[in-house]
Amino acid sequence: MNSFIELFKANLKMIFREKEGFYWTILMPAFIYVALSVLPIGKSMGTGMEYSNYVLPGIIAMTIMQGGIYGLAYWMVDLKLRGIIKRLMATPIKPWQLATSLISARLVTVLAQTVILTLLGVFAFDAGFAPYSYPGDYTGFAGNIFSTIILVLLGGAIFLCLGLIISNYAKSYDTAAPITSAIGLPLTLLGNVFYPIESLPHSLQVFAKLLPITYLSDGLRQAYLYPFDFNKLSFDILILTVWLIVILLITVKVFKLKE
């Protein structure tokens, strides 16, 4: 446990002391969100609501996905290429301790990104976490922090495990780039991030409904923009849990810490 905690802390220090990388990790999604919210492009998306509201949970889901697929996979490749994995494996540390410490530290980053984007959306664009008017006189409150945390942790774990699996097969940056693009691009374009999947052709809708990011975006939208509704949220959480179990099993089966 001591090894795990120290590695977790070391990973956090590395992430937060890499100022340039950290700023871009935080700033780029925020910039994309602001640009999409102020430009008049959202009106043509058929979302039935202010685009700044619709796209905030999508951007957060996309950021979580990118943190795993791009962030962790490239970081692991870098650690491998610089011989650091080998140096760590020369100690009695177990591979799972190293892998879980990396994932845990990255989950903290994902939570930080979520908090910053949420604060930006809520305070600058009134996106979510606000009073909600039902038809009739009844009003409620849209936004549920607990559901948000569950969804972010589930999504983070899924995509960080995916990042680990990618790093298993990517021996260099040159091999990591096409693999991450091949996986990241369809997840971004078909994953319910920028527009509803109902606006896609039917065949792509079928594919989109298999992707975990579709349910992460949908779940976050439910958690941010509507009053708590267990029935609606539980479906997204169930699908994400199934995805997490499957991807954990694959990670345990295929992931090896090697040069």
Partner 1 sequence: MENVIEITKLVKVYQKKGKVKGGLTAVNGISFAVQKGEIFGLLGPNGAGKTTTLEIVEGLMVQTSGKVTVLGLDNLTQTEAIKKRIGIQLQSSQYLHHLTLGELLDLFASLYTPSLSLRAQPKQSQDRSPRSAALPRDDKKKGLLQLVNLSDKENAEVKDLSGGQKQRFTIAASLVNNPEILFLDEPTTGLDPKARRDLWQLIKTLNRQGITIVLTTHFMEEAEFLCHRVAIMDSGKILEIDEPKKLIDHLSDTTQVSFFTENKIDANLFTSLPEVKKVHANYPKVILEITSLDKVSAIVAVLKNHNILFYGFTVKTASLEDVYLKLTGKDYEE
Interface ranges with partner 1 (CB under 8 A): 2-3, 5-7, 10, 13-14, 17-18, 82-84, 86-93
B/e letters for 86-96, b = 16+ CB within 10 Å, e = fewer, are eebeeeebeee
Smallest gap from Cβ 95 to partner 1, in A, equals 12
Smallest gap from Cβ 103 to partner 1, in A, equals 16
Smallest gap from Cβ 16 to partner 1, in A, equals 9
Smallest gap from Cβ 9 to partner 1, in A, equals 8
Q: Which is nearer to partner 1, 95 or 186 (CB)?
A: 95
As a whole number of angstroms, the distance between CA 51 and CA 35 comes to: 11
Q: Which is nearer to partner 1, 84 or 185 (CB)?
A: 84
Query: Mind giving me the DSSP string for 69-101?
Result: IIIIHHHHHHHHHTTHHHHHHTSS--HHHHHHH
Smallest gap from Cβ 237 to partner 1, in A, equals 35
N-terminal to C-terminal alpha carbon distance within the chain: 25
Smallest gap from Cβ 113 to partner 1, in A, equals 19
Residue/partner pairs of 142-148 with CB below 8 Å, 24 or more apart: 142/224, 142/225, 142/226, 142/227, 143/223, 143/224, 143/225, 144/223, 144/227, 144/228, 144/233, 147/219, 147/222, 147/223, 147/228, 147/233, 147/237, 148/114, 148/118, 148/220, 148/223, 148/224
